[in-house]
């Protein structure tokens, strides 16, 4: 009987972990889309049990020696990168006790499930009763991670989603954005005040919107043999690379947001479907970070989806499915999808005001995890910052204020900065792509999306977690993250 090398034994273990995570992902998707309400307590317990199994598999005592032995073996470049990611997963898991992992999973499931009815009921007090426990457990997780890493509690949580990023770096980037964004918003709104925009006239039947969305997904290269589209309270991309599940939500009086939501989630899905197939069961074959993941969804939604060239391409599809209206001309669709109007809802925000929504959430969740505020303080802070950053009054409107997002319900603190990092990465990608392909917009308008997909596949999707984030972005674009591309993109698109 041949004895496995230390590295091979680790690879076998992580293949097993990947299969557990596969089941967790599909059961979580079902919980959000198909599961009847009375199934939640049992599903929460089952998911928590699966989380415990994953945690035990990652924390068996013999792994320390196995990882150390593997580091002395003769490994190839991808194997060495995989071992780096294996060590990171193992180190993080060993900092958290099993009881905390289980308790946080249960608390998150209960809070998220109740939130689905509490949000439409504008029931902040009811939400708070569950949310306080999520915050308590998240702070405990942050404390344990911080003590071992030397990071602040909030940075320790953010590191789960964006390895190597710190709140100091985020603060610096966001401070710069805050210095020029309000003025740019004012300029653009003044300029757009004289534009005529035709409002589409509904109702738009859900089945017609769905058919339109499916056709746009096909255009964007989504593999329907390896994924599907469904409906959920909050749009998301779930499942696994071999079986990607994306969702949207529909309103019969407004197709604009659901369609672009589908484009956004398809960006996530194409990343998953494009990850290196030979390495999918290993950490090195997975998405690099959530900032990089969001860069894919925002490459699709903001860089491609809201571009005049792409809207010219899909205008005939819109008319085919939703009927002939002057509002569905390509020029009017471009005005609709670049209209700047501060509003309540993050996921419905235009490209220009969106960063303000993220900055607000970053500032609140960091203060919450660091113990500077308590959960009950969130509504007042939310109202204050929405008024200051966007001139929007959210007092008493919890549904469209601090209850609107799903992220905090399960303790996903530290995730929100990934959205604006993703927007910045996406702007940098497309600047690099346009240098290589100066006629890119003409190609897109003509229906040739191969230059976009090919560039992303070569530089991002196929790389998985082979490189750490700065190295990945530098190899793709010639430099590490440079927020100047984001500002230049916005000024070019909105001021021309």
| Binding annotation for Zn(2+) | 264, 268, 294
Tokens of 25: 């992902």
- One DSSP character per residue, 93-105 reads HHTS-HHHHHHHH
Q: How far apart are CA 424 and CA 469, in angstroms?
A: 13
Q: How far is CA 331 from the centre of its chain?
A: 29
CA distance 124 to 122: 6
- Are 27 and 47 in contact by the 8 Å Cβ rule? The answer is yes
Which of 464, 28, 24, 494 minimizes the C-alpha distance to 247? 28
72 carries an active-site annotation: no
CA angle 33, 229, 269 (to 5 degrees): 110
* DSSP state, residue 245: E
Closest CA to 309 of 199, 426, 440, 424: 440
* Contact criterion met (CB below 8 Å) for 422 and 292: yes
Residue 4 DSSP symbol:
P
**Biggest alpha carbon–alpha carbon distance for the chain:** 79
Go through 234-259 and write b for each residue having 16 or more CB atoms within 10 A of its CB, e for each that does not: bbbbbbbbebbbbbbebeeebbbbbb
Query: Distance of alpha carbon 76 from its chain centroid, rounded?
Result: 31
Beta strand 243-248 pairing with 237-240: antiparallel
3-state secondary structure of 69: helix
Q: To 10 degrees, what angle do helices 308-322 and 330-337 make?
A: 110
Burial track 446-485 (b if 16+ CB lie within 10 A, e otherwise): eeebebbbebbbebbbebbbbbebeebbeebbeeebbbeb
Residue in the structure block whose two tokens are 């950490």: 283
Angle at 352 between CA 346 and CA 353, to 5 degrees: 40
Residue 270 burial (CB count, 10 A): 25
Task: Give the three-state DSSP class for 84.
Answer: helix
Instruction: Specify whether the CB–CB gap between 424 and 470 falls below 8 A.
Output: no
Q: What is the 3-state secondary structure (H, E, C) of 352-414?
A: CCHHHHHHHHHHHHHHHHCCCCCHHHHHHHHHHHHHHHHCCCCCCCCCCCCCCCCHHHHCCCC
Compute the distance between CA of residue 112 and CA of residue 108 in angstroms, rounded to an integer: 6
Binding annotation: 264, 268, 294
The single residue of 265, 301, 312, 351 carrying the catalytic annotation is 265
Active-site residue set: 265
């Amino acid at each position: 009987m041949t004895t496995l090398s230390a590295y091979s034994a680790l690879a076998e273990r992580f293949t097993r972990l990947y299969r557990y995570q596969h089941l967790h992902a599909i059961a979580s998707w079902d919980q959000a889309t198909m599961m009847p309400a009375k199934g939640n307590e049992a599903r929460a317990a089952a998911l928590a049990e699966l989380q415990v199994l994953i945690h035990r598999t990652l924390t068996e005592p013999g792994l320390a020696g196995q990882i150390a032995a593997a580091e002395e073996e003769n490994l190839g470049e991808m194997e060495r990168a995989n071992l780096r990611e294996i060590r990171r997963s193992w180190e993080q898991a060993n900092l958290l006790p099993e009881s905390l992992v289980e308790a946080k999973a249960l608390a998150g499931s209960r809070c998220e499930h109740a939130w689905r009815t509490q949000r439409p009921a504008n029931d902040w007090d009811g939400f708070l009763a569950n949310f306080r426990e999520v915050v308590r457990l998240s702070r405990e997780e942050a404390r344990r991670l911080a003590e071992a890493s030397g990071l602040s509690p909030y940075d320790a949580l953010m590191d789960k989603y964006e390895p190597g990023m710190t709140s100091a770096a985020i603060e610096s980037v966001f401070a710069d954005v805050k210095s020029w964004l309000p003025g740019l918003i004012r300029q653009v709104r003044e300029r757009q005040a004289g534009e005529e925009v035709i409002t589409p006239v509904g109702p738009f039947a859900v089945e017609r919107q769905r058919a339109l969305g499916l056709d746009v997904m096909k255009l964007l290269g989504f593999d329907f043999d390896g994924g599907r589209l469904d409906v959920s309270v909050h749009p998301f991309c779930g499942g696994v690379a071999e079986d990607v599940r994306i969702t949207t939500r529909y309103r019969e009086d407004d197709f604009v947001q659901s369609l672009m939501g589908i484009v956004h989630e398809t960006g996530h899905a194409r990343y998953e479907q494009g990850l290196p197939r030979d390495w999918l069961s290993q950490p090195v074959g997975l998405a690099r970070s959530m900032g990089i993941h969001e860069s894919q969804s925002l490459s699709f939604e903001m860089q491609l989806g809201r571009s005049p060239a792409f809207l010219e391409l899909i205008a005939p599809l819109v008319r085919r499915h939703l009927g002939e209206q002057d509002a569905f001309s390509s020029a009017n669709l471009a005005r609709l999808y670049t209209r700047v109007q501060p509003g309540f809802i993050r996921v419905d925000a235009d490209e220009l005001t969106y960063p303000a929504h993220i900055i607000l959430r970053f500032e609140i969740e960091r203060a919450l995890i660091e113990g500077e505020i308590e959960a009950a303080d969130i509504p007042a802070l939310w109202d204050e910052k929405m008024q200051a950053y966007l001139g929007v009054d959210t007092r008493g409107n919890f549904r469209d204020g601090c209850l609107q997002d799903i992220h905090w319900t399960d303790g996903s603190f530290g995730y929100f900065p990934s959205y604006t990092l993703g927007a910045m990465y996406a702007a940098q990608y497309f600047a690099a792509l346009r240098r290589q392909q100066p006629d890119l917009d003409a190609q897109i308008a003509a229906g040739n999306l191969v230059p976009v997909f090919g560039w992303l596949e070569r530089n991002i999707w196929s790389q998985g977690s082979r490189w750490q984030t700065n190295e990945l972005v530098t190899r793709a674009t010639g430099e590490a993250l440079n927020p100047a591309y984001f500002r230049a993109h916005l000024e070019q698109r909105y001021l021309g």
